[in-house]
């Protein structure tokens, strides 16, 4: 019997350290409600790579003015998705301090420690220390993926204005699901079953391609 195996490249591959447009909460009081959609123009936002942080970590964008000044950060980026009809599960990996909400193509898909009412001066409802990535697995039916470019938007929250630290980094990945072979696949043998006292060639064929 011969078994064929194959590997596929990731059909979503959005890495840590990616580039975002970002807006500090201190400048977001007048931010329109459609900021997480394609209709919004983010050309006036700053640009930088994750992690966004202060008090913890290295690299990325240092938010040296965040403490005692603003508690939220708005992020916009994009990722590519291919063969979306064959993606079953999407993994989000998040390293965060202290909360966040994620939208894909304008639809809210998940959150952690976010306040019930989202605002430019909102705060996380619980403390969460950064340092390790936490993985979240989402069913693709809950994420409105489109073939090609997808819009990713995030609002991140600190637990208080006076918090001593803040951190956010994110990645997403997904691979094609492997086609399933029916367990009832018919096999045809060119020799009857029985006991044998000498080697012989056995030909096996499938009733389906």
Q: What is the overall mean pLDDT for the chain?
A: 91
- Compute the average pLDDT of residues 156-184: 85
The pLDDT score that the predictor gives to residue 96 is 98
Give the model confidence (pLDDT) of 20-60 as tens digits: 999 999 999 999 999 999 999 999 999 999 999 999 999 99
Give the model confidence (pLDDT) of 55-105 as tens digits: 999 999 999 999 999 999 999 999 999 999 899 999 999 999 999 999 999
Are 53 and 62 contacting, i.e. CB atoms less than 8 angstroms apart?
A: yes
pLDDT at 207 exceeding the cut of 80: no
The pLDDT score that the predictor gives to residue 178 is 63
The pLDDT score that the predictor gives to residue 46 is 98
Query: Which range in 147-151, 188-192, 203-207 is most confidently predicted, on average pLDDT?
Result: 147-151
Are 94 and 134 contacting, i.e. CB atoms less than 8 angstroms apart?
A: yes
Query: Over the range 24-48, which residues count as b (16 or more CB within 10 Å of their CB) and which as e?
Result: bbeebeebeeebbeeebebeebeeb
DSSP 52: E
Q: Within its chain, how far is the Cα of 95 from the centroid? A: 12
The pLDDT score that the predictor gives to residue 1 is 38
Higher pLDDT, 187 or 86: 86
């Amino acid at each position: 019997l011969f078994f064929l195996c194959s590997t596929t490249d990731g059909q979503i591959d959005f890495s840590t350290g990616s580039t975002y447009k970002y807006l500090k909460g201190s400048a977001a009081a007048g931010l329109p409600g459609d900021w997480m959609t394609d209709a919004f123009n983010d050309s006036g936002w700053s640009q930088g790579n994750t992690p966004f942080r202060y008090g913890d970590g290295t690299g990325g964008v240092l938010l040296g003015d965040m403490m005692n000044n603003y508690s939220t950060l708005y992020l916009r980026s994009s990722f590519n998705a291919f063969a979306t009809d064959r993606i079953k599960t999407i993994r989000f990996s998040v390293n965060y301090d202290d909360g966040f909400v994620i939208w894909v193509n304008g639809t809210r898909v998940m959150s952690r420690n976010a306040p019930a009412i989202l605002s430019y001066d909102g705060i996380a409802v619980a403390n969460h220390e950064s340092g390790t990535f936490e993985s979240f697995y989402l069913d693709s039916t809950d994420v409105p993926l489109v073939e090609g470019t997808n819009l990713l938007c995030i609002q991140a929250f600190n637990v208080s204005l006076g918090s001593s630290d803040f951190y956010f980094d994110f990645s997403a990945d997904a691979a094609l699901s492997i086609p399933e072979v029916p367990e009832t696949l018919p096999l045809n043998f060119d020799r009857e079953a029985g006991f044998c006292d000498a080697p012989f060639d056995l030909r096996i064929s499938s009733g389906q391609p």
